[in-house]
Structure 1
Amino acid sequence: MGKPKHQSPAVKKANAVKKKYNRGSPGKSLRCKRAILAIEKKEVTVRKASELYGLSYGYLHRRLSGEVELDSRNGPQPIFTKTEEEAMAHWLKEMASRGMGLKPGDVLDFVQKLVTNEKKQTPFANNRPGYDWYYAFMRRNSHIVEMRTETPLETCRAKLTKEKTDKWYSSFREFLSLKGLIDKPTRIWNADETGFSMGSTSGKVIGPTRAQHPTQVPHLSGGHSKQRLTVM
């Protein structure tokens, strides 16, 4: 076995940076799934798939054989399960859709409170995750949430169209049919609510992806607080 080729300090540093950011890089799991699908369809061999999709032969073979879970990764165990994170992402999406979207710092505060209340063991200082965790969370759940710019609720309402109104009534009719109330008007009650915003300013929040929610993300306008009082 020959001696390894000499590398300059600059080349060594570049390789170290490349290795750091390739490890667990975004899209690796997706590339692996595509590679396995191509192999199962007998379109390519394992070795050829590893070359085409930028994966090591051993990495791909272990997941193909079932020795390692497809989404398995090196490093410490995640604080939340995939199901728990997706539930959190769906909640964030719903909050934004209702005009009460959370900013990154709000999410970190929420996670800190959650793990403290549930007495979860975490590597976080004071149980508050850093932005590295936040960015990783957003990558893992990019099919559910992404950063969106809020639009004042009054502006969203001003853009209400006949098509949107018809769609709402169509969905309401389907809901009544599903609940068996379409022919029981005496069991249908109307409730009115009024919201009093304690204030807040619009900005970028975590909300639904544009593919799922192409319209504007509403914002409850006001001063500098997200507090809101609702009266029925």
Structure 2
Amino acid sequence: MARRKKNENPKQGKWSIDSIKKAVEAVKIKKISIRRAAEQFYVPKSTLERRVNGKRQVDDPPSKPTVTAYAMAEMLKIKHPFSKTKAKAGYDWYEGFMRRHPQLAIRKPEGLSAARGMMLNKHVVTSYFQLLEDTMNKLKLFYKGSQIYNVDETGINTVHTPAKIIGLRGTRAIHSKTSGDRGENVTVVICASASGSYIPPMIIFKGQRLNRGLVANAPPGALFATSKSSFIDRELFEHWFKYHFMKYLPSHRPVLLIMDGHSSHISLEILQLAKENEIEILCLPPHITSELQPLDKCVFKPLKTEYNKACMQFLKENPGRIVTRYDFCGLFTTAYYKVCTMLNAASAFRATGIFFPFNPSIIPEEVFGPSIVSHLPSQEGDCKPEETKASDQESTCIEAESDLTSTSADCTVPCASGDVLSSLLKVPSFEKQRKIPTSKKSRRITSARCLTEDEVIKEIEDKENEKEQNRIEKENRKKLRVIKKLNKKDGKSEKLKRKKRKDKAEAEEEKEADFCNYCHGYYYDDDSDDEDWVKCSDQGCNRWFHESCTSCFGKEVDAFKCDAHKTV
């Protein structure tokens, strides 16, 4: 991407709402192109395209450019030494500002998906802990950590990630040997209880058949499986739940199993089996398992770190060798024994506020920061549209009054640098406009669920029946297409047969016209002869004869008819 020139003026926000309205009308009514309308009314093409497609409202105000230190100083009416011609602060001021505020630093932010940013809000977390508390109250498990379990899977690659090392400052070429550019993924399913006990892991390799050499040096009691992609699917999870989890589960009941809502974890057979054996399954809210799932929070990261260390040690002790799928179990076992301890499991459940103690306020407030501008309303939405509208009007009036008072208070120049800094770092409050609730229910799941409830089982059963019905209808449509195709082929073959019969009849007629039907002498044999040929005068006859064979001469030749068409 080319660098922006220093003297280039940004076009962002330099258009009026009237011009964008005229441009949208020109595109929709006059049917001109978006590019031509943008050039004609002097508006950005991308801005016009978003408003024509309905992604933004037509009368939405233009977004303003990034506020600089100069603009902030002008807005707060603070005396400053900045150049008014350049309208920006210099690098020396930036260095002094960073020295005066050592608590600030340039940080590279981690990527956060829009779904995670929206779901990780206080309402979703509060509703999850409320459901968890109600479930634990119903099952009486507040002091029974051996009956609370969490299961999750993670992928580990045979090509490890090298750890940090100490090297000479300024050296660029610092390398660490790995087993290849792209390795093979192996899925590991781990299940732990709040009391610190573990169910032996399940290890899934890529392939169709399990080689005995793959299972060497694995943890005792581990379950092995294979899949086409090395990822877990519904059949493998059903097998794990039915023949592995139930086998190592203590005899005490009831049991609470906490897991994420991945499609491979939810099936009708698992839920029915869990209900029969007094196992309550709690599904975590989507996209926020990194904060609420114990194994994600405290076990998987140190497990992969120890696995990387074991791979580095293996390559150091075995020069000339690489880590393959046959070495995976031994290296994984080394990391598993170091990380999957009773202390780590208990700490994981404590860090997520599940056990012990039960702590719904374990998630810090700063974690909810990305969801401030994407407020997610409750899924119940029991309030009526009129009540919602009235409450919105009241909240709008209150916010307007608070904005007026804050504006009048902010007109004064801050007396200390800390006040200026806090005003600079103030996060703007924003809430999405609430839509009027409709009778149509959204299919998107945005909250925690107890999967073993009768309503949820009935809903999943209906989905399974609908899916099976769609599958049968799809197969029937496929069979109909095949039958139509075969019928079409049969029609084509019948046409070909009719065409062949017609060609054969025409060929026979042409053959009859090539020789004399009296003496059977061929026309091509008379090249040296100047004798004329005579055709039967009957309209439907195609027979030819030598003139001498017909015994007709002169005008009689024109009225000649063969023996088959002579009238008695």
TM-score category by the smaller chain?
Answer: under 0.3
Point out which structure has higher relative CO (alpha carbons under 8 A, 6+ apart): 1
Q: TM (normalized to structure 2)?
A: 0.12
